[in-house]
Each structure stands twice: as structure tokens, then as C-alpha cells.
Structure 1
Amino acid sequence: MTADGSFLDTIKFIVREALLNGGRRYYLALIGLLIVALYGMYLWIFVQHAPIFLGKEEGGLILTDLSDSVPWGIYIAFFVFWVGVAAAGIVFGIAAYVFGDKEFKKVAVLGEVQAVAAIITVLLLITVDIGRPFRAMILMPQLPNLRSMLDWDFIVLTGYLTLNLIGMLVTVHYYRQDKPLPKKFIVPFITIAAPFAIGIHTVTAFISQALTARPIWNSPLLAPRYVATAFASGPAILLLALYLAERYMKGFKVDFSVYKKTLYVIVGSLVVGLYFTLSEVHEIFWYTTEPMKKAQAQVLFLGYHLPYLAKMMWLWIGLGIAAVILGILPRVHNSKKGIILVSVITIVAVVAEKTMTIIIPAFVPGTLGEVHPYYPTALEIGITAGVHAIGILIYLLLARPALKAVMTHYFKGSGAHH
């Protein structure tokens, strides 16, 4: 199959395949996501910014349950989760280009697509958390301040986003012309992208870990725990995306070895993540001499003041163990549907582990021992849902042309139905 060779034509190809050549199911999915996204944007712009846009006296972050005592809530909670999902997008790339797995080479571009969609979701969650976007402009003149972990986070996030946009564009550019990726691109790309993938989640953890007034975060295990569970949930989402692509894209097939080898990564990461949780429980409840740390842990594990946090934490432990047990059963790991079941359980488990349970206990009790229980309001939940809809929409719009290019190169065909 021949195609025009310029990158401009590749961009046109991406736009055409993303927007113009879909079927009924594809467009219904796009419309549904767009409605949720627009509703979330409406809540954020016109309800949360009511004093500006509607002339009302009440609005802004006061409409949320965020406060001086609990300044980080559901927005930052899901920020942490999606940074991990973005970091784990590199798993397919490492398997393909470092270990030379031919089957992973066919789907490595989906990891880049996932990273792009996840980082955009992350940046949008930061935007809604700061309240007014103008506040970000106030911070910009301070860049770069290499003594600030926030600046490092900004650098690694935007750097990783740029890397994956370039990686996706180059991959689609060559594959749509039925050409292999050149080694002069692959080697520097994976050499730079792999450390960035670990770096984005490590730096995110360092931001919390450095806050000495939040003792539950003052653990050297925080950063490796972030990375471990990210390498469970990120590949699980990739497998779910591949499974849906196989169902709804005619002619697109993935070798079973991709599912099985990725499951090994998921199960191994869950085991490490659960072990880190056990290690922290041992330190907190067995010999810590920090009373505030123990008080915050009681909120997290025993449900003091916020029962939903304990339920989420024990959900992570229960589902994490269940996913590991299921993953090692031959009847499960030798079945594609069984692997997808483990993937879905893993996603739910890590959402429970790496969202509210990571963030909220550091603020309840607060630095002076005060207790302000945090419950996200309907406004916060609606805005968060809208941001997620935008992220999934971007994932869908980019995944389709990327996989169509893969089909052109590896399957010599690009027919699709939705």
C-alpha cells in the first residue's frame, strides 16, 4: 500500500481516521463522551466560576469540600492515578524495542497513545484543582526553579507528553506507508522515554514525600509504591483497550502471547505493591513513634472520621490478592477472557489504592491535630467525570488511526467496523 510521505499527510491521516471514517458505534461513543465532557466543562466554568460568569456572589472553590485543612481532594487523587497510567504506557515499548518481541512491536504504539491521553487528563486535573487558570500564569515566570519538586514535575510531565506525541506521530507516519520504524529513531526514543516514564511518577511521589508536616507520606516506600501499582493498572488498561480493539476493529488481531506476558507484569507488580503496603502497615502499627502518623493511619485503615477511606483501602488489599490468585491459575491465565477479568479487577483495586486513600489521610488529622473530614461534592465528582471523559475521548480518537496504521503495516489491510 502506498501513501504520501510527508508528516503533514500523516496528520491529515490521523484526523481523517479519527473523525471521518468511523461507524455508528464509534460515533455514539464519541457523542456520549463529548456530552459528559461538555457537562463537566459547564460545571467548572459556569458553576465553579459563578462570580465571574454569572455575576453571583457565591462560587469558586468554596463550592467544593476543599479547604485550608484539606487543600487536595478528588482532583489531585485522580491526578496521581493517571500519572501512573501514563508511566506504565512504556511497558509495551520496552517489551517491543528493548527485548525485541515481535508481537509487542505491533501494539507498542498503543502505549504511546495511552500516555498522551493520560498526561492530558493529568494536566486538566491540575487546571481544575488550582481553581482559576490565571493562577498557572502567575507560577510560570518562576520556571525553572530546580529546587522545587513542582517544577521538576512540570518538566517531566510536559517532556513525557512531548516524547509520546512524537513517538506516536513517527510510528503512524512509517506504519501507514508500510515501512518499519528506523533504528535511529527507536534507540534514542526508548533510551529517553523509559527513564522519563519512571521519573514522572517518582517525582510526583517526591512532592508528597518532601512535605514533612504530612507524616503518613514521609516514607521511603512512597515512590516505589507509586511505581509498582502503576505498572499493574497501566498495562491492565492497555490490555482492556486491545481487547476492545479486537472486538470492534475488523481484521485487527493480537497474539495471545501479548496478553499472557502482560499479565505476568500485572501480577508481579501487584505482588510488589501489596508487599509495600504490608511493610508500611508493619511500620505504622508496630513501632512508629510519630503519633500524628498513627492517627492518620487509623483514618486510612480503621475508618476513623472517614469510613469510606478504610473501605477503599481494604478493597485494594482484597481485590489485589484476588487478582494475584486468579492470575496464577492456569484456567485464568490461559484464557483471554480470564486475563481481561484480572485486568478489570486490577484497575478497580489500584483506583482504590492510588486515589483518595493516597491523598486524604495526609490531611485528616491536619498539622495541628484538627479534623475536617473530606467528602467530594457532586460538583467535584461531575467536574472529575468531565475531565475523564475528555481523556477517554482523546484515547479513542488517537487509538483508531494508530491501530489502522498498524494494520496497514502488519496485516496489509485497514478495514474497520464499529
Structure 2
Amino acid sequence: MESFASLGISPGFIEKLAERNIREPTPIQKLVVPSLLAGKNVFFCSATGTGKTFAYLLPLFQTLFGSVMAGPGDDPGIGGRGTELLILAPTLELCSQIKKEADFLLEGQDRRIKVNLVIGSANLERQIGSLKKDRPRVIVGNPGRLVLLTRMKKLKLGSLRALVLDEGDRLFAEELAADTRELLGLINRDRQLTACSATLSPKIRDLLLPFMEGEALFVETGEEGILRDRIEHWAFFCEERRKIQNLRSLLGAVKPKKALVFSARGGQPGNIVSQLQYHHIPAAGLYGDMDKKNRKEAIDGFRSGKITVLVSSDLAARGLDIPGITHVIALDVPAEGGPYIHRAGRTGRAGNRGIMITIGNEDEMRRLARLEKKLGITIYPKVLYRGQICLPETFEEETPSKILLPPGPAQKVLE
């Protein structure tokens, strides 16, 4: 059986992992860690909740800061170096989570390696001051602010030895692509490149090739079975105008410990939160135009359990890793499988089970039927009947998919 030690990870990092009872590498870590330790460019694709962050942090820290786990009398290897590792991520929440994991691996070590968070919502002058004071060897940030600081010559990346694009597909989405390309163009090509996501398409890999030296190894695992094995998928037919009302009824029926609700429509998350709060449901929102303070309050409240329902846009929740999410509820159906995978992947993590629920109109149910076939999952039709989740009574054989028709009267109440 492979262990972190057999992969080449140092005892100091292994001891840190043991503090979280992480004792064996996940399948994606087994594939990625040796390749990154060998200095290869690696693009890897693995389902959410499978340990992608540690898959790149462990080997890159090992390579760049090997002396960080040395004894107190050893050379720490600082020597006035600049930033050596840059990690890009699309959202404040994901950047913050990555920094937290990086700090965890380094905490307790008598060394001066700093990890700085460089994000657009932070005060620019304070950020510049922190960069000057800390001289961080690791920076985690989003492309827009990093481009600005580089243009201002407040951030110098000439010492960069490794670059990571976490949620690489989202970094090339329309709202971020220009900044991502500009930043990559400002960074030397002679450094190790890593990109990862649960849905890293060949198109994204092709876009990255001009920004790297040499070849890239593409790695993926069979962990996508998590979408089928750990997550149960439900579908509720609903007219568009009744979706929020049906959401309230559904929340009352399932009484989730923690539910993450997705809406792709601009401005809709705020409206949903207002209506849920009006009906005394402890809810908060997470969407693009919120300030940093309110976003943090929403995340902290949801993480602690004070808030049981978090309503989010897709971008705001990208990479969100909050333990104990029991239900994910989508109020629309994406055109492609990628967003569905990312949404569903917020539950069923760390060996737990979860439920992915879609509330959609007739057109959306047809789209969902196509995704069901494409993703190789089974989506079970459900109805709400007298405050309980029930199975529909009948389905016509000529219907293209079992999830298309509006439900009939309830037949059986689920246990």
C-alpha cells in the first residue's frame, strides 16, 4: 500500500497531515505527487473532495522549501529570495481556503516562509505594505489584483519557480480570461506549471500550452464515480414562477443540516435569501457584488451551523469546501455537465453521502435528462406531498426520460 512516505513526502509534512487524521494518499495524490516532485508540468482532473489542494501543495512545498522541515540548526534556505510559488484561483473563498491549507502545512515550523493572500476585495495600500514587509515566497490570489500589482511594479515575479492554476477552467471563463491571459504573459515561461479542476477540458489545456516550456502530463482518475456512488440525485418539476415557494417547501420537508442553493440568474440569490429570511429560514447569500465582510460573515455562519441555507451563484461557490453540506439544491439546469459536477461536488465529500436536488421547469427537465445520460448518473423524480418527499405515481413509456413530465399524485412516501 502506498503511503505519503513512499511518495517522497518528508516526515514533517506527514506529521502535519496526521493531525487531521490524513494517513494515506488519495488516488489523485498518488498520481500527481511523484510527477510534481520530478519537476514535470502536470494538468490533473479529479472529482471534488478528492484532495487536489494537497496534491499540489505537498510536492511543491517539498521541492521549493525542502529545508523547511530541517532541524533548528539547519540553513532555512531563505537567502533573500523573492516569490517562488504563485497559486491562482477564481474566487476570494477558494483563495482563502488554499492559503489556510498552505499555512497549516507550514505552521509550527521555525522558519520565515510567508504565504500572502492577494485578492481584489482587500485594501490595495495595505496589501502593498504586506508584500513589502513579508517578502512572501508563496502568493495565493486572483488574476485581476495580481495583474494590477504587477503593472504597478509592486509585485515582482522574476524569481517564480512554480505556478498553479486551481479551478483552471473557471480562470478562463469570460469574466476572468483576459486577466488570466495577461498575467500568464507577464510571467516567465521557464517554471513548473500545474493546473487542476474537477472539469479540466482539452480546450483549457490547449490554452495553457503557449505559456509553458516543454510538455505537460495530463492525469485523471476514476474518482468521478463519487458523483454516482456517494451522491443521490433528485429532480422536482416546477413552474418558473413557483420555484422559490417550492424551495421553501422542500427545505421544510428535508430539514437539511446544511443546504447549498445555486441560482445562475443575476440578482436572484439576493431575492431568494430575502424571501427565505422573511419566512424565518436561517439563510445567507454568497454572490459577486457582496463586500468582503458580508461574504466572510455568510461563510462563517454557514460553516458554524448558525446559517443552514447558503444561496450562491456558481462563481462565488467555486471550490467552496465546507464540511457537512448534506444537500445541494439547484434552481436551474446548466447547459453543460461541468457546472453540474461542480455543484454536486459540494456534498458527498470526505467519504460522506449527500443529495443533489434540481428544481426545474419543463425545458430544464429535458436538459437535465440529457445531462443524466451524459454523466452516467441516475436522477430520481420526486414530488412534495403534504410536507413529505414522495415518488411520482406513474410515467408514460413514450417519455424520452423518466424525469421529464410534471409529477402526478404521490404514491409512496420515502422512509
Fold shared per TM-score above 0.5: no
Work out which structure has the larger RCO, using CA pairs closer than 8 Å and 6 or more positions apart in sequence: 1
| TM-score normalised by structure 1 residue count | 0.27
Point out the structure with the larger helix share: 1
- TM-score of the superposition, structure 2-length normalised? 0.27
